[in-house]
Structure 1
Amino acid sequence: MNIFSVNNILVHIPIGRAGYDLSWVEAIGTAFCLPCIWLASRERVENYAFGLVNVTCFAVIFFQIQLYASLLLQIFFFAANLYGWYAWTRPRENAAAAPAVLWLAPARLALCACACAVAIALLSVSIDTLFGAITRAAVALGAPRPARLAPDPFPVWDSTVLILQVAAMILMTRKYVESWILWSTTYALGVLLYYAQGVMVMALENIVLTAISVSGTREWILAARGPRRT
């Protein structure tokens, strides 16, 4: 029994016309995702431990359902969770040096917006080629060969979620308020994306995550103190 297969069903959920088969890997990933986001909104470093399990499970899911940009996003998240854990806990000479919740300076905000727009455009037209190259490299290293490589069904939206969540994760490791605005936006997009791809529980989960991230946005806005960073 392969617990990492999306075909290994934990329970049948009677939602929709035909119901939904919840796999073990999706259930485990979802169970670790919700506390991860909630803890992050409260500035609790424990969120990164939950995040490492969550992104590992979701990477396995996205590989099997061929949402290529989302798969690459989980690989980035794994590394970013390790860095964020370090950045939030590394020893400092004084408590005042610890990262505080702040807003991006206007110039950096504009630069970030432009960089995201360019990256989304470039990735949208190259995601299938990029994932094909990664798949061939993985197979050469011994990974199982997929039955077939279909084109990404939603390259623009898939790429948008990837790029904006990469930006959100980077900003969150440095405790910028804008990270939660991006999380709220991408989770709302994720509801539509995962529903269209038939991953119903992850779509429902993103509804909950949207609510949590909106709450997190409010918490971090209230926590933001001092001058803007330059």
Structure 2
Amino acid sequence: MQPIFDFFFDQYYGVPTHLLILELIGVLFGFLSVIYSKNNNILVYPTGIISTAVFVYILTVYELLGDMMINAYYFSMSIYGWYIWTRKVDATHFTPITNTTRKENWQALFIFLGTLIFVFIIYEYFEKWNNWTAYIDTFTTAIFFVGMWQMAKKKIENWIFWIIGDLISVPLYFYKGLTFTAIQYFVFTIIAIYGYRAWKRDLRNDLRPA
């Protein structure tokens, strides 16, 4: 048991206590945010804002610039999504879950490619191409930017991007020494699968004639 514990948590040796505590807080509120998202609950946004604010700081310290920008973007998009989710489309109904349109698919592609270029420029400017994780970080940043944009607009396809990005992030964060965060993304993957199924069921019910 001890060798297994050491394998996962020796990476925290010498890490300042405040960073460990902040990571645990960020993970906790991250879990709450994803669970609320799965349940189509507006609390996804206030809990997400707390989590992303914490991780902006942590990821800056660990020099994961792409993921730091992801969380800064999440923070701003959470405010936007909070507004969209509370906006009524008529007297009694709030913004519903829908599929992406052809136009929105092109917009998603533009966001993905634009994010790749932007993060590449950031890494190039700060000369941070010193590890293979930088290339993975650039790719996951683009995936998550699209996922967050689609979630804010209540598009069911957002879960597909979350699942792909979460799966890639598990080994990335473990390699960088953020074991709790790696575990968080593993659980996120499972929740995202259930979230996709739940939203698909809700979408099917919404489309069913009254």
TM-score band by shorter chain is: 0.7 to 0.9
Matched, 1:212 2:191: yes
- The residue number in structure 1 matching 2:15 is none
One-letter code of the match for 2:123?
Answer: D
Ranges in structure 1 where 5+ consecutive residues have no aligned partner: 1-12, 133-148
Query: Could you say which structure has the higher helix fraction?
Result: 2
Aligned-residue identity in percent: 21
Segments of 4+ moved more than 3 angstroms: 90-93, 149-152
One-letter code of the match for 1:76?
Answer: Y
Number of corresponding residues? 196
Matched, 1:73 2:73: no
Equivalent pair of 1:191/1:207 in contact (CA under 8 Å): yes
- The residue number in structure 1 matching 2:45 is 48
Q: Secondary structure of the residue that 1:43 maps to in structure 2? A: coil
- The residue number in structure 2 matching 1:39 is 36
- The residue number in structure 1 matching 2:117 is 122
C-alpha spacing 1:116/1:29, structure 2 compared with 1 (3 Å): same
Equivalent pair of 1:116/1:164 in contact (CA under 8 Å): no
Deviation for aligned residue 1:164:
1.3
C-alpha spacing 1:220/1:15, structure 2 compared with 1 (3 Å): farther
Question: Residues of 2 paired with 1:165 and 1:18: CA distance?
Answer: 27
Matched, 1:167 2:146: yes
- The residue number in structure 2 matching 1:25 is 22
Relative to the length of structure 1, the TM-score reads: 0.76
Ranges in structure 2 where 5+ consecutive residues have no aligned partner: 13-18
Relative to the length of structure 2, the TM-score reads: 0.83
Counterpart of 1:201 (choices 180, 183, 196) is: 180
- The residue number in structure 2 matching 1:104 is 100
What are the residue-to-residue correspondences of 1:126-145 with 2, within 5 Å?
Answer: 126-130=121-125, 132=126
C-alpha spacing 1:29/1:157, structure 2 compared with 1 (3 Å): same
Question: Residues of 1 paired with 2:84 and 2:112: CA distance?
Answer: 27
- The residue number in structure 2 matching 1:135 is none
